[in-house]
Amino acid sequence: MSEELHEIRLRVNGAVHTATVPARRLLSDCLRHDLGLTGTHVGCEHGVCGACTVRIDGRPMRSCLMFAVTAQAHEITTVEGLAAADGTLHPVQRAFRECHGLQCGFCTPGFLNVAAAYLDDNPDPTEEQAREAIGGNLCRCTGYQNIVRAVLRAAELRRADGMPVPEQAAPEDARTPGDR
Amino acid sequence: MKPPPFSYHAPASLPHALSLLAETGSDGKVLAGGQSLIPLLNMRLAAPAHLVDINGITELDRVDTDATGVRVGALARHSRVEADPAAAAAVPLLGQGLRLVAHPVIRNRGTTVGSLAHADPSAEMTAALALLGGSVVAASTDGERTIDVADFFVGPMESSLRTGELLVSAHFPRPPAGSGTAFAELARRHGDYAMCGVAALVTLDQDLRVCAARAAYLSVAPVPLVLDLTEPLAGRPPGTADFAAAGRMTRGRLEPEEDIHATAEYRAHLAEVLTARALREAAQAAIRTSLDPAESAREGAPT
C-alpha cells in the first residue's frame, strides 16, 4: 500500500527546508529523519517527557504531538537554533554547562528550549518559578537541582548580555502558573 | 510509537471543514491542538481514516467576553484563554482550572474546546463548564445547535456530539453576583491527571451569608458530576459555615472507581477533603468580591 505523500516547506532556525512526508510524520521525526536535525531528541512520544520540545513561533511545544504538515505555517526553532551564527552559545546553554545541568544530555534539548522561552517572558524568576517552568520536562540523571540552578544562572547571563526584555515584562506581568 | 496512516485535510474555512466532516462521516476526526488525540494515535488507541485539521481556520481562534460570560472558540489554546485578562475577570474559574491542566508547554498547543470535545472526565475544563452550567455550540452542514452542558457529557470520552459535527465554541457563564469559585485537586505527580479534583462555587447574599454552594468533580465519575451542597451551609456566614459537613455530603453521592493510581475509598476520601477545601476557598473569594467587586477582576487576572 502506498501512502499519500505531502510536499512540505518548513521554516526551521531561519532556513527553509522542504521534505516529502506522509501526513502522519510527527514533527519530531521530520526534524530528525527528513531534515537531519538530530538535536531534537525523542523520548516518550506521547507528550510526557518533554525531550522533543521545540519552539513554534517562539512558544515551546512538544514536537512529538504535532504533525510536520501542520507545522508548515510556523517559525520553528530547535536546539540547533539557540547558539548564535558565530557559535557563541546561548545563555541557557552556557548556564547548563557552568552549573553541570546535564549528565547524559538526552533530555537537555527540551530543557534548553523550555528555559530559553520561559526566560524570554520572565527574565528574573525566583527559584520556585524556575522549578515550575521546567516542571513539564523529565530528567533521569541530574535530580533536577543543577537544572534549576542553571535556569537561574541563565537569567543572570541573559541580563549580563543585555538581552532584550519582552514588551510586557513588567514584574506584575511576569506570569507563571505557580505564582498565583 | 508512530501514528497509523490517515488521509489529511487542512480546510481554511469553517464551511469547508464542515463539508469534509460530512463527507468523511464516522471515519473523520477533528484535529485541533492534538495534545490528547496525537498520543492516542501514537499509541494506536485510535485510527481514524481521515483527520480534518482545523488549525488553519483562524476565525475559530478567539476568546470573547461580554456581560453573560466568556465564549471560547474552537482554536483558542489553553494558554491564550488563561492569559486573557477580560476572561479572567469575568470567569475566574477558567484561570483557576487552566493552571492545573497538564504543563504550560501542553497548554501552549492544546485547546480548551478540544478538551471538552474529548470529554475526558479527568479534565479540568469539563468540570468548570459543568459547575457554571455552560453550553457548547456544535456546527454541521445542517447548521448550528447549542447543547447545554447537562446534555453534552454522556460518558467517559463520550459526548452527545453527532457524526459530522464540529464543536465550534463553548460558553462559560459569568457566576451570579456575590459568588466566588475555587479549584482544588490532587495528582500523583505535578501536571498529571488528578486522582480527584473539585471545582466549587459559593454564592453569598447581601448579608454575606451563604445562599448557594455547589461543586463539580473530576476523576471520580464517568461525567463531570455536579452536587448541590447548599443545605449544610445555607444562611451561615463563611466564617462559621461547616464546610467539613458539606464535604461529608459527598459520601454516598459519589461512587469513584479504583484504578492503579488510587483505590475507590481513597478517592472518596479525597473528594470529601477537597470539597471542604474548595468550598472554603470559594467562600473566601466570594467575600472578597462582595466587599469589593473590583477585586474579582484582580483575582482572576494574571498576577
What is the amino acid identity at position B115?
S
CB contact under 8 A, A180 and B39: no
**CATH code, residues A91-171:** 1.10.150.120
* Partners of residue A26 on adjacent β-strands: A67
Residue B202 φ/ψ, nearest 5 degrees: -125, 130
Q: What is the pLDDT of residue B137?
A: 98
Residues of chain A with CATH 1.10.150.120: 91-171
With residue B178 as reference, give the H or E element that holds it: none
Q: What is the pLDDT of residue A179?
A: 37
Q: What is the pLDDT of residue B299?
A: 52
pLDDT band, residue A166 (cuts 50/70/90): low
As a residue count, chain A comes to: 180
Q: What is the gyration radius of the CA atoms in chain A, in angstroms?
A: 17
Nearest beta carbon to residue B191 from set A65, A133, A135 = A135
Contact between residue B151 and residue B236 where contact means Cβ atoms under 8 Å apart: no
Residues of chain A with CATH 3.10.20.30: 5-81
Alpha helices (runs of H) in chain B, residue ranges in sequence order: 14-24, 37-42, 78-83, 85-90, 92-98, 104-107, 112-118, 124-132, 149-152, 243-248, 264-291, 293-300
Q: What is the pLDDT of residue A176?
A: 41
- Where along chain B do its domains lie? 7-56, 60-173, 179-300
CATH level 3 topology of B7-56: 3.30.43
CB contact under 8 A, B8 and A6: yes
Q: What percent of chain A has pLDDT over 90?
A: 87
Residue A163 has pLDDT above 80, yes or no: no
- Mean pLDDT value across chain A: 91
Q: What is the pLDDT of residue B303?
A: 42
pLDDT band, residue A170 (cuts 50/70/90): very low
Q: How many whole angstroms separate alpha carbon A16 and alpha carbon A14?
A: 7
Contact between residue B245 and residue B291 where contact means Cβ atoms under 8 Å apart: no
Residue A110 has pLDDT above 80, yes or no: yes
CB contact under 8 A, B95 and A29: no
Contact between residue B68 and residue B173 where contact means Cβ atoms under 8 Å apart: yes
Cα–Cα distances (Å) from B206 to B61, B203, B289, in that order, read 39, 10, 12
Q: How is residue B274 written as a grid cell?
A: 477537597
CATH level 3 topology of A5-81: Ubiquitin-like (UB roll) (3.10.20)
Residues of chain B with pLDDT under 70: 293-303
- Mean pLDDT value across chain B: 95
List pLDDT tens digits, range A40-85.
999 999 999 999 999 999 999 999 999 999 999 899 999 999 999 9
CA dihedral A71, A74, A80, A84 (to 10 degrees): 180
List pLDDT tens digits, range B99-132.
999 999 999 999 999 999 999 999 999 999 999 9
With residue B150 as reference, give the H or E element that holds it: helix B149-152
CATH level 3 topology of B60-173: 3.30.465
Q: How is residue B132 written as a grid cell?
A: 457554571
Q: How far is A110 from chain B (nearest CA, A)?
A: 11
Q: How far is A161 from chain B (nearest CA, A)?
A: 26
Give the 3-state DSSP-derived string for B86-106, with helices as H, strands as E and coil as C: HHHHHCHHHHHHHCCCCCHHH
Assign residue B142 a region (left: φ > 0; alpha: ψ between -120 and 50; beta: otherwise): alpha
Q: How far is A88 from chain B (nearest CA, A)?
A: 27
Q: How many whole angstroms separate alpha carbon A100 and alpha carbon A145?
A: 10
CATH level 3 topology of B179-300: Enolase-like; domain 1 (3.30.390)
What is the amino acid identity at position B274?
L
